[in-house]
Amino acid sequence: MKDAAIGVFDSGMGGLTVMRALMAGMPSESFVYLGDTARLPYGTKGADTVTRYAVQAVSALVKRKIKLLVVACNTASGVALPALNEAFAPLPVIDVIAPGAEAALAASPQGPIAVIATEGTVRAGAYERAIRARAPKVPVLQQACPLLVPLAEEGLIEGAIVDLAIHRYLDSLLERAPAALVLGCTHYPVLRDAIARIAGPDIVLVDSAATVALAVERRLAQDGLLREGPPMPHRFLATDAAKRFARIGEIFLGQRI
C-alpha cells in the first residue's frame, strides 16, 4: 500500500500549484492528478452540482487504488467534502481549506484576514468558518473573484487585462486594510506577482500549497503509508482538452507535463 499513488483532484489546472508543492515535499511518492477540465469552472456552479461533479471525478481516481486523496480545489473543499468523506471512506481525504486557514492565522494571528476566492467558496463561507473555528475574534473579509480562474486557465497571468481584473476585486477590499490576503483558489498562485504588486508590500499573501503538503505528509506518516526510496512516476489526467491542459498546465506546475 505504501507504493500506491496519492490522488490529487481539481476542477482544472489550479490544483497543479498544490501538486507542485506535494512533489517537492515528498519526492519518493507517486501522484495521479485529475483536472475536470470538461466541467470547469466549479466556482460559478451550485453546491449540489459541484458535489456531484466531485464525486464522479474522485471515483475515477479511486479506481486507480490511491492511498490518499487531496481535494486541491477550494470550491469542492468548501461544499463537497462531507459527501466525499462519506462516499469513499475509509480513504483519507485532505482538503485545502483547513490548511489555508492555519496558514492565514500563522501569517496574521490578529487579522484582519482577507480571502479572495471563487463565488462558490465565498458563498459557502468555508474560509470564514475555518478561521473562526480556530480564532473566533479574528475579522474575516471575503471577496469573490469570478474572472480570475478563466484568466489563469487561459495562461494570462500578467498584463493590463489581468491588472484590471485584480483591481476590480481588490480595490474595495484593500480599503479595509487587511493584514493578510489568502489566495483562496488554487488557480490564484500563478497570478501571485500581479496580486502582490497591487496589494502592496504591507499585506502578507497566503498560499496554502506548502501547508497542504505538510498535512499530507503528516497523515501518511500517521497511517504508516509514507513511501521511501527512489522517485516514482506521476500521471496527469484531464477530462477534456488534454493537449491544452499539458501546455498551459506547465505554468502552474513549473515543469513539463
> Which residue in 16, 71, 73, 191 is the catalytic one?
73
Instruction: Please give the grid coordinates belonging to residue 104.
Output: 492565514
> Which residue in 68, 114, 185, 213 is the catalytic one?
185
H or E element in which residue 26 lies: none
Cβ(186)–Cβ(74) below 8 Å: yes
Residue in 150, 95, 152 with CA at minimum distance from that of residue 126: 95
Residue in 32, 12, 2 with CA at minimum distance from that of residue 238: 12
Q: Tens of pLDDT along 128-168?
A: 999 999 999 999 999 999 999 999 999 999 999 999 999 99
* Ordered structural domains, the chain, with CATH: 6-95+209-253 (3.40.50.1860), 97-206 (3.40.50.1860)
Cβ(209)–Cβ(189) below 8 Å: yes
Cβ(5)–Cβ(144) below 8 Å: no
- Could you give the CA distance from residue 69 to residue 77 in angstroms, rounded to a whole number? 12
Average pLDDT of every residue of the chain: 97
Q: Tens of pLDDT along 174-183?
A: 999 999 999 9
| Whole-structure pTM value | 0.94
Q: Is the peptide bond before 90 cis (omega within 30 degrees of 0)?
A: yes
- Phi/psi of residue 45, nearest 5 degrees: -100, 160
- Could you give the CA distance from residue 212 to residue 42 in angstroms, rounded to a whole number? 20
Q: Is 145 a catalytic residue?
A: no
Task: Report DSSP letters for 201-243, one per residue.
Answer: TTSEEE--HHHHHHHHHHHHHHTT----SS----EEEESS-HH
- Phi/psi of residue 158, nearest 5 degrees: -155, 165
Instruction: Please give the grid coordinates belonging to residue 206.
Output: 497566503
Instruction: Please give the grid coordinates belonging to residue 73.
Output: 480545489
| Secondary structure (3-state) at 228 | coil
Of the pLDDT bands very low, low, confident and very high (cuts 50, 70, 90), residue 125 is: very high
Q: Tens of pLDDT along 194-243?
A: 999 999 999 999 999 999 999 999 999 999 999 999 988 999 999 999 99
Instruction: Please give the grid coordinates belonging to residue 87.
Output: 462516499
Alpha helices in the chain (DSSP H): 16-25, 47-62, 74-79, 81-88, 97-107, 119-124, 126-134, 148-153, 160-174, 192-199, 209-222, 242-253
